[in-house]
Amino acid sequence: MSLPDPLHPAVVHLPLALAMLAPFVVGLAFVVIRRGWLPPRAWVAVLLLHGLLAGSAWFAVETGEEQEDRVERVVQERWIEDHEEGAERFLTVAAVALLVSLTGFAGGAAGAVGRGATIAAASVVLAAAIAVGHSGGELVYRHGAADAYVEVAKSPSAARTASRHTRHGD
């Protein structure tokens, strides 16, 4: 089995999905630990979730950087830079959320405050995920980034179709 080409679109969905789930998982973990249904060590599930989220966000950023030069052939650099900056923000807040989630292991009231802060951090990660996902969708569907990977047939009608999809001026 070979890796998809381009790889970036194949991997970006994992950190976005995890970012969507994280506030709910963190909130649920907060409630069940607070009510005593599970011991505080169950918070490890939140830590693992945030670790996977930050790691997959890093991998998404790396694969995007690898494909940047090719996409710049069909999309203005400013749109790519906007997306790249959003991706770096997403990675940063995901890493901060991972660190904040560590505070949930503290004992007593400090642990409860840390778990509450993790809910807030997960919400910030979700907002960053929505923003970067939107800008990535704009690159593909509005600015034609996918055209960088479309093989154009030699026929005149195929060339006309491809030229309609290229959006250098958007």
pLDDT tens digits for range 74-91: 999 999 999 999 999 999
Asked whether residue 90 is domain-assigned, the answer is yes
pLDDT of residue 53: 98
Task: Note down the domain range covering 19.
Answer: 8-165
pLDDT of residue 5: 85
pLDDT of residue 163: 52
User: What's the predicted TM-score (pTM) here?
Assistant: 0.87
User: How many domains does the chain divide into?
Assistant: 1
How far apart (Å, rounded) are the C-alpha atoms in residues 2 and 163?
A: 30
pLDDT of residue 1: 85
Preceding omega of 6 cis (within 30 degrees of 0): yes
Pick 35 or 155 by higher pLDDT. 35
Asked whether residue 51 is domain-assigned, the answer is yes
Asked whether residue 42 is domain-assigned, the answer is yes
pLDDT of residue 145: 94
Written as six digits, the tokens of 5 are 């080409």
Residue 56, C-beta contacts closer than 8 angstroms, at least 6 positions apart: 11, 14, 15, 18
What are the tens digits of pLDDT across the range 91-140?
Answer: 999 999 999 999 999 989 999 999 999 999 999 999 999 999 999 999 99
How far apart (Å, rounded) are the C-alpha atoms in residues 129 and 131?
A: 5
Asked whether residue 1 is domain-assigned, the answer is no
Q: Write the CATH number for 70.
A: 1.20.120
Asked whether residue 3 is domain-assigned, the answer is no
Give, to the nearest 10 degrees, the angle between helix 13-34 and helix 108-141: 160
How far apart (Å, rounded) are the C-alpha atoms in residues 143 and 72?
A: 11
